[in-house]
Structure 1
């Protein structure tokens, strides 16, 4: 079984508007509400690929109920731990550019944290655990490290600098920083594929088995100790980048779960992320299949 962990889930309220004028009344065009959070997004895209998963994490209040109901309606299994405060609501403003307003998230007690750790302890060596996204401010910063160390199965991690670095000695199957996160980790501007590749290889030296780097419109890299794939993506109208990286993670996991080769799995990963960027919500299987043949891989 694949388990996704979202420590700080959200209801993502996406608002499309032509202009945003601060201090004035603004009228929205289309609006959407989705169950959000990186691990939850991975579970939703896995479902599009026909791959089952169970979503873990913390939910509370009416936004938490919305998340649970949304996933259950999509036939995605959940085993969330209930907290007293409301799950956060994040606002995504889509105008001439994208603006995000992310709330901090609810308080999580030590007892509730221990409940989650007990869920992790019960996993089997055959299970895959996806650890993705931010943590509530009430949780200790070492929570990723604790989860990674006690995970008995395969580990996949998509998180920012310190959270990501804290799990490397647990040898995750792959990690997925984007280019900006890689630049933050190494405190330098990365201009070329070789520079990105060298930084990814450094993370492999520190413990990661593989590194997948998303490059936005420039595609993606998959870096192992002995091989590097560069993916080129088709041009298209980018509608919504929220969840694109999570879709990439889900596509890679889905390919591996279906027994595809490393090359085919990476191609499916990039197609999943690209298709999501071209739609208002996370991509469906049909949308992913429509761009799959346009993804070009080269060994670099």
Structure 2
């Protein structure tokens, strides 16, 4: 079974208008509401790819109920910890030529509620996979990811971490199966500017030396690069297409990699599936569907 964890889920309220005038009344031309959060995005794309999974995390108040309802209506399984006070956050995304975001803070999470999540994680077994995605809310200890990975250490659980900066550097010693920084985040972690493919490979390998098994580096329109645990290096160009939505593309890449790996445990095949899935979400107004991914699979080119 695959489990995803989203500590701070959201309702994403997306509004579109031709122009935005600061300080004046603006009227939307269209609007959508989606459940949001990196782990939730992974869960929903996995569902689109016919991969069964369970979304874990925390939800609170009327917004939390709506998040869970929408995820379940989408066809995903959930096992959230219900917070007794506070409301899950609402993120406002304004698309008016440029894209602007106002992200809510989210509710407080107490020690008792955090321990409830850990009790759920106790049931993860050998052969399962866990996806830890996104930042840790200020209400939780900074070492929460480390504590989770320590709990599951030596159980034969493949852990995927999609986080950035110091948070990611602190957990690589627990040998995550996959980490996914982008090229800018990778450089920032080591205080350098990456200007070439060789630079990305060098610092991807540095993360491997620190414990990570597979390092997947996304590079936006330049594609992605995989430094794999079998010592192979793969770089893929993205297929041609019009980018309509950047939200969730990285999460979709993670979901695609997982789906591709589960098929034959082949890292290159997983990588191709990841690039295709991330691209499919970028080319869509919503998260990638299976049909959209399959259309792009044969259009992925490997850089030699």
The TM-score, its normalising length taken from structure 2, stands at 0.95
Indicate yes or no: 2:56 matched with 1:56. yes
Query: Equivalent of 2:302, from 294, 297, 300?
Result: 297
Q: 5 Å matches for 1:15-26? A: 15-26=15-26
| TM-superposition CA deviations, 1:199-257 (whole Å, max 9, x none) | 11111111000100111111001112511110101222211100000000000001112
Q: SS in structure 1 opposite 2:68?
A: helix
Determine which of 201, 217, 221 is the counterpart of 1:217.
221
Residue 95 of structure 1 deviates from its aligned partner by 2.3
Confirm whether residue 241 of structure 1 aligns to residue 242 of structure 2: no
- Deviation digits for residues 138-175 of structure 1 (CA, Å, limit 9, x no counterpart): 11111011011112311000012122112111100010
Work out the CA distance in 1 between the residues paired with 2:107 and 2:76.
23
Query: Does the alignment pair 1:101 with 2:106?
Result: no
How far apart, in 1, do the equivalents of 2:18 and 2:243 lie? 16
Residue 165 of structure 1 corresponds to 169
Unmatched runs of 5 consecutive residues or more in structure 1: none
1:27 CA drift (Å): 2.1
Residue number in structure 2 paired with 1:7: 7
Q: Does 1:196 align with 2:200?
A: yes
CA distance in 2, matches of 1:134, 1:85: 19
Runs of at least 5 residues in structure 2 that lack an aligned partner in the other structure = none
How far apart are the structure 2 equivalents of 1:147 and 1:268? 28
Distance 1:17 1:184 in 2: 34
Contact 2:256/2:277 (8 A) holds in 1:
yes
Tell me by how many angstroms 1:110 deviates: 0.3
Deviation at 1:260, TM superposition (A): 5.3
Cross-structure match for 1:181: 185
- Residues 62-114 of structure 1: per-residue CA shift (max 9 Å, x gap): 11111111111122110000112100111122222221211111100000111
Aligned residues: 299
Distance in 2 (CA, whole Å) between partners of 1:111 and 1:279 is 40
Structure 1 length as normaliser, TM-score?
0.96
Contact 1:105 1:137 in 2 (8 A): no
Distance in 2 separating the partners of 1:95 and 1:188: 34
Q: What's the CA shift for 1:57? A: 0.2
Q: Which residue of 1 aligns with 2:126?
A: 125
Equivalences for residues 136-175 of structure 1 within 5 A: 136-151=137-152, 152=155, 153-175=157-179
Task: Give distance in 2, aligned partners of 1:43 and 1:159.
Answer: 16
In the TM superposition, residue 40 of structure 1 has moved relative to its aligned partner by 0.5
Aligned partner (choices 254, 261, 277) of residue 256 of structure 1? 261
Q: Does the aligned pair in 2 maintain the 1:179–1:214 contact within 8 Å?
A: yes
Select between 94-103 and 6-15 the one with higher mean Cα deviation: 94-103
The answer as to whether partners of 2:43 and 2:53 remain within 8 angstroms in 1 is yes
Contact 2:228 2:267 in 1 (8 A): no
Question: Do 1:4 and 1:55's aligned partners in 2 also have CA atoms closer than 8 Å?
Answer: yes
1:100-141 CA-to-partner distances (Å, cap 9, x unmatched) read: 211111100000111111211221111100000122211111
